[in-house]
Amino acid sequence: MRRTGSILVVDDDPAICVVVGEALRRQGHKVEAVSSIRQRSEMLESFAPDVLITDVMLPDGDGLEDVAGILGRWPELHVIILSAQNTLNTAIRATEKGAFEYLPKPFDLNELTRAVSDALTMKEGADAEEVGLPHDGLPLVGRSPAMQEVYRTIARVLSNDLSILVLGESGTGKELVAEAIHSLGQRRTKPFVAINMAAIPRELIEAELFGYEKGAFTGAHARTAGKFEQAQGGTLFLDEIGDMPMEAQTRLLRVLQSGEVTTVGGSKPVRVNVRIVAATNKDLPQLIEENRFRQDLYYRLNVVPISLPPLRERREDVMILARHFLDQAAQEGLPRKSLSDEAAQLLMLYHWPGNVRELQNLMQRLAVLSRETVIAADILRNALPLAAVPADFTAPSEQLAQAVGEWAKRQLGIGISEPNRNLHNDLLAVVEPVLFQETLARVDGNQLRAAGLLGINRNTLRKKLTDYGLDPSQLRLND
Ligand SMILES: Nc1ncnc2c1ncn2[C@@H]1O[C@H](COP(=O)(O)OP(=O)(O)OP(=O)(O)O)[C@@H](O)[C@H]1O
């Protein structure tokens, strides 16, 4: 049984307060959110929370400073620290002040809700025999900067009805984003209806979307409501919108403009109130150029775009997702499996053309078929398309390790007596600029994507580039 409690969230970013607050409320907790240390002190008195989730950099000071004092006053309280200063120093300070948990930003919502559940479980004094608490209610997993951007946008659209266009390759989670917007938003008690334009014969799309009257065409035996009417009050997910035939696009635009649907073969319009979330893996501006997509419809749908990058561009999410899917398989009653370190490395190197869906399928297959509890690299090598992963994938790392070893020996040989040598920094100063330059060149100087590939915070990357005197605009790909 999950325990619920009262939670105070302190962050000066309203998007974080909304997302965290909403996620915790969905799990049955009572939540209040404020944005400063002063308000935090007031709420600790008046709201008396069980758990305090607080940011460090707050407009009126350092949110960690007072934590030891707070715990002295309310010893039962559990404090969870969130911080964008992902330094070891902040983590250590948080621990020293007696915080129950420290989560670097960007954080994974599931991890946060789990930390809250753990804190409340401890508070009840119950023994934690239930280790793997279910991730219920929070379908999206991942903590890459790109996913954090997605979470922020989702948070901003929960309280309005703006049309959303979700962009991304097949299997990146577009439908999951649409479902999250619906199930966390104000329409959650109403239907979520999905229709995939690519999966329905072109001549049936209009009948499916708008419904039809009895006798409108051969086989139309009775009046049938379309997806628009079925989604009344809720959300309509228009998947693969780029595959919609032009005539259906014209009709869709008319419905969106008028808020009324007329069935195929019918004459009486029905008022509909639905939120539209559309998705595509196609380049819509290109389709507009080719006269295969209506520009006016594009503007109507693309009010808030949400981009899901391919998994190969957010490799830091691969292991989190892999574990999530193995956990899911275990919860479904399959044997619990984990991955060896080498297997994990292999997963990180693979380019995932089928994105998250491919990773999910692979983990499910392994959970069913693999006999070992710890999945080894060899098993993965057999399961993944062989050509995609070089058999000697560890060789470059070994060479690098060797080079570092020789470099260190040389440095120690010449400088061991110097008291102020900082060998660690010296090595980073050799290695990091090369790594950053290669990565930035690969992504055409895009720092957000480079940070994603490197698995570091964008601000950290920016600061390091300045420190090394590197100019990302000079690092365009020219091969
Ligand atoms: N961030 C994520 N966290 C957890 N599961 C995910 C995530 N992204 C995708 N998935 C899972 O991967 C599978 C594919 O996701 P989804 O169907 O949403 O992709 P899609 O982009 O809509 O694909 P398509 O374009 O082929 O329809 C689903 O089972 C979904 O639950």
State how far the Cα of 255 lies from the Cα of 227, in Å rounded to an integer: 12
pLDDT band at 478 (very low <50, low <70, confident <90, very high): very low
Is residue 429 within 8 A of residue 411, CB to CB? The reply is no
For residue 410, the CA-to-ligand 1 centroid distance in Å is: 50
User: Can you tell me which atom of ligand 1 is nearest the CA of 308?
Assistant: 21
Best substitution site from 144, 165, 176, 317 to test ligand 1's pocket, by max atoms within 8 Å of Cβ?
A: 176
d(CA 250, CA 267): 17
The 10s digit of each residue's pLDDT in 300-333 is: 999 999 999 999 888 888 998 999 999 899 989 9
How far, in Å, is the centroid of ligand 1 from the Cα of 131? Answer: 26
Q: Which of 151, 356, 359, 360 to mutate for ligand 1's pocket (most ligand atoms within 8 Å of CB)?
A: 356
Taking CA atoms only, the protein residue closest to ligand 1 atom 16 is 173
Give me the DSSP letters along 167-210. Answer: EESTTSSHHHHHHHHHHHSTTTTS-EEEEEGGGS-GGGHHHHHH
Give the whole-number percent of the chain exceeding pLDDT 70. Answer: 87
Residue given tokens 């409690």 in the structure block: 5
CA distance 78 to 85: 21
- Domains of the chain are 6-123 (3.40.50.2300), 145-308 (3.40.50.300), 312-388 (1.10.8.60), 403-474 (1.10.10.60)
Atom from ligand 1 closest to the CA of residue 173: 18
| Band (387; pLDDT cuts 50, 70, 90) | low
Look at residue 56 and tell me whether its pLDDT is greater than 60. yes
- Asked whether 374 and 340 are in contact (CB, 8 A), the reply is yes
Banded pLDDT at 413 (limits 50, 70, 90): low
**Residues near ligand 1 (Cβ within 6 A):** 139-142, 168, 170-176, 239, 281, 321, 324, 356-357, 360
Give the ligand 1 atom nearest the CA of 168.
21
For ligand 1, atom 23: residue with the closest CA: 171
Q: Tell how far the Cα of 455 is from the centroid of ligand 1, in angstroms.
A: 21
pTM over 0.80: no
What atom of ligand 1 comes closest to residue 177's alpha carbon? 18
